[in-house]
């Protein structure tokens, strides 16, 4: 038997209530904050992701679904949503629009990861990008949006971690200090960190290995090395977050797994939980990315949240979510003449805006009623020979078990 590929899932009808709830809340928040939807292709030129995410990141080194297509082009299934949005911004000359351009997406994301709870090879993200403004008030807006979404969904006990990793001016001297520090302790580092030390020193701060973690406590902190401008930017951001009553924790270990970030980085996770797959959302500022992709210098900030992780957390917290409606009416019948009536009536109900199912094939009335029960409808309509003659139907209220006979042409109105 075939199975869904490892790390992917079918989202079956009972799960759809969660998905539809999350997507509706996300779209509503975007409307409130003035973000408009963008959709980009599922795959892009592989170089777009290598350039933006960074060659020495886990995503580019190990996780991209890349292949050569039949025309010989190198293609990658989207491993994140920010670079495609920047590509579209440049390609469609969005720098000519009033800035910042506020965009959002809901998209499937592909990463060849080791599957476990909350970590999949295909997952879905809701993300926002605000492009074309460096004001820290925009960082605060994006963080506020993320927080507002989680609160609106009914999630509780979340914690916001915040850090600033500086810019092209202040980061290189900081990285030198960091490298010197870790080099002094090289013998104690895990194999991964020893390897990363030369190429991607910042990621050492992120290592979950207990010995590396202990070393990280004493490691130089990026916020102590910020240049004047980055320092002011960070100070203003913190002021705006306070103004918006958003509680945050300064986390010097927070660096994120993509290379394009400058200044602000943040993550939101259930309080007290740590680990690679607990963050339900994260993002930050990426002021150099657009230029790296061939556009004009365009400061920008954004965030994304994993929809599967939202579903997991909503379930864990037993959050009350609205269940998608089931059909209202099931139409059952006895005999061929009644079936003609039933088919006509079902079509009429649907056209009148009342969701309806008709019984199919020749089942006993008992079997049809059982089917009506299982399908979760609120009403069953029964048509027998007598009803055909008298142009009426029997309407049964499933919850109350009561029934009444009403003229067939009054049914839609009665149900409404």
Q: Which residues bind ligand HAM (CB under 6 A)?
A: 80-82, 111, 113, 118-120, 123, 125, 127, 129, 257-258, 279-284, 302-306, 308-309
201/212 Cα distance (integer angstroms): 12
335/333 Cα distance (integer angstroms): 7
Identify which of residues 220 and 282 has a Cβ nearer to ligand HAM in the complex: 282
DSSP 61: I
Give the sheet arrangement for strand 249-250, strand by strand: 36-37, 101-110, 122-131, 300-306, 281-285, 262-270, 158-164, 249-250
Identify which of residues 279 and 393 has a Cβ nearer to ligand HAM in the complex: 279
What is the smallest separation between the CB atom of 411 and ligand HAM, expressed in angstroms? 47
Identify which of residues 55 and 409 has a Cβ nearer to ligand HAM in the complex: 55
For residues 42 and 108, the answer to whether their CB atoms sit within 8 Å is yes
Identify which of residues 269 and 329 has a Cβ nearer to ligand HAM in the complex: 269
Identify which of residues 84 and 220 has a Cβ nearer to ligand HAM in the complex: 84
244/398 Cα distance (integer angstroms): 49
| Helical spans, DSSP H, in 154-259 | 171-184, 191-199, 210-217, 228-243
Identify which of residues 307 and 338 has a Cβ nearer to ligand HAM in the complex: 307
What is the smallest separation between the CB atom of 216 and ligand HAM, expressed in angstroms? 19
| Helical spans, DSSP H, in 244-306 | 289-292
Identify which of residues 132 and 281 has a Cβ nearer to ligand HAM in the complex: 281
What is the smallest separation between the CB atom of 166 and ligand HAM, expressed in angstroms? 17
Identify which of residues 64 and 258 has a Cβ nearer to ligand HAM in the complex: 258
Instruction: Give the position of tokens 């039949």.
Output: 70
What is the smallest separation between the CB atom of 225 and ligand HAM, expressed in angstroms? 23
What is the smallest separation between the CB atom of 127 and ligand HAM, expressed in angstroms? 5
* DSSP characters over 13-26: HHHHHHHHHHHHHH
For residues 333 and 381, the answer to whether their CB atoms sit within 8 Å is no
Identify which of residues 118 and 295 has a Cβ nearer to ligand HAM in the complex: 118
What is the smallest separation between the CB atom of 335 and ligand HAM, expressed in angstroms? 54
Task: Find the length of the chain.
Answer: 416
330/332 Cα distance (integer angstroms): 6
For residues 255 and 163, the answer to whether their CB atoms sit within 8 Å is yes
Task: Give the number of other CB atoms < 10 A from CB of residue 369.
Answer: 18
For residues 388 and 341, the answer to whether their CB atoms sit within 8 Å is yes
What is the smallest separation between the CB atom of 187 and ligand HAM, expressed in angstroms? 31
CA dihedral for 387, 390, 391, 394, sign (positive or negative):
negative
Pairing status of strand 101-110 against strand 158-164 = unpaired
Identify which of residues 220 and 283 has a Cβ nearer to ligand HAM in the complex: 283
What is the smallest separation between the CB atom of 95 and ligand HAM, expressed in angstroms? 18
What is the smallest separation between the CB atom of 310 and ligand HAM, expressed in angstroms? 8
What is the smallest separation between the CB atom of 328 and ligand HAM, expressed in angstroms? 36
DSSP 325: P
Instruction: Give the position of tokens 């670079």.
Output: 83
The dihedrals phi and psi of 68, each to the nearest 5 degrees, come to -95, 130
Residue 66 in tokens? 């890349």
């Amino acid at each position: 038997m075939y199975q869904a590929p490892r790390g992917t899932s079918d989202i079956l009808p009972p799960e759809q209530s969660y998905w539809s709830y999350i997507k509706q809340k996300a779209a509503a928040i975007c409307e409130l904050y003035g973000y408009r939807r963008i959709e980009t292709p599922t795959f892009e030129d592989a170089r777009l992701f290598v350039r933006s995410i960074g060659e020495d990141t886990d995503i580019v080194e190990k996780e991209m679904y890349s292949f050569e297509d039949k025309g010989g082009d190198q293609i990658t299934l989207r491993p994140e949503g920010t670079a495609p949005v920047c590509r579209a911004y440049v390609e469609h000359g969005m720098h000519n629009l009033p800035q910042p351009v506020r965009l959002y997406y809901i998209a499937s994301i592909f990463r060849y990861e080791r599957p476990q709870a909350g970590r999949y090879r295909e997952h879905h993200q809701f993300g926002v990008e605000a492009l074309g403004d460096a004001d820290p008030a925009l960082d605060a807006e994006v963080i506020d949006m993320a927080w507002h979404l989680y609160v609106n969904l009914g999630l509780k006990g979340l914690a916001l971690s915040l850090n600033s990793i500086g810019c092209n001016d202040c980061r290189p001297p900081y990285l030198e200090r960091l490298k010197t520090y870790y080099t002094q302790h090289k013998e104690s580092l895990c194999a991964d960190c020893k390897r990363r030390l030369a190429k991607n020193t910042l990621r050492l701060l992120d290592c979950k290995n207990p010995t590396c973690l202990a070393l990280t406590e004493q490691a130089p902190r990026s916020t102590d090395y910020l240049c004047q401008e980055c320092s002011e930017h960070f100070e203003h951001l913190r002021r705006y977050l306070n103004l918006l009553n958003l509680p945050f924790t300064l986390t010097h270990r927070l660096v994120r797994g993509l290379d394009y970030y400058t200044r602000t980085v943040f993550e939101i996770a259930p309080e007290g939980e740590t680990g690679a797959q607990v963050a339900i959302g994260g993002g930050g500022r990426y002021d150099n990315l657009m230029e790296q992709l061939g556009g004009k210098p365009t400061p920008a900030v954004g965030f994304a949240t994993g929809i599967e992780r939202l579903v997991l957390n909503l379930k864990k917290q037993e959050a009350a979510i609205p269940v998608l409606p089931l059909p209202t009416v099931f139409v059952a019948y006895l005999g061929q003449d009644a079936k003609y009536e039933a088919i006509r009536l079902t079509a009429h109900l649907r056209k009148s805006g009342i969701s309806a199912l008709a019984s199919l094939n020749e089942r006993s009335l008992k079997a049809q009623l059982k089917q009506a029960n299982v399908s979760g409808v609120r009403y069953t309509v029964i048509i027998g020979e007598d009803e055909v003659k008298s142009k009426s139907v029997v309407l049964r209220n499933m919850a109350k078990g009561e029934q009444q006979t009403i003229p067939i042409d009054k049914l839609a109105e009665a149900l409404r």
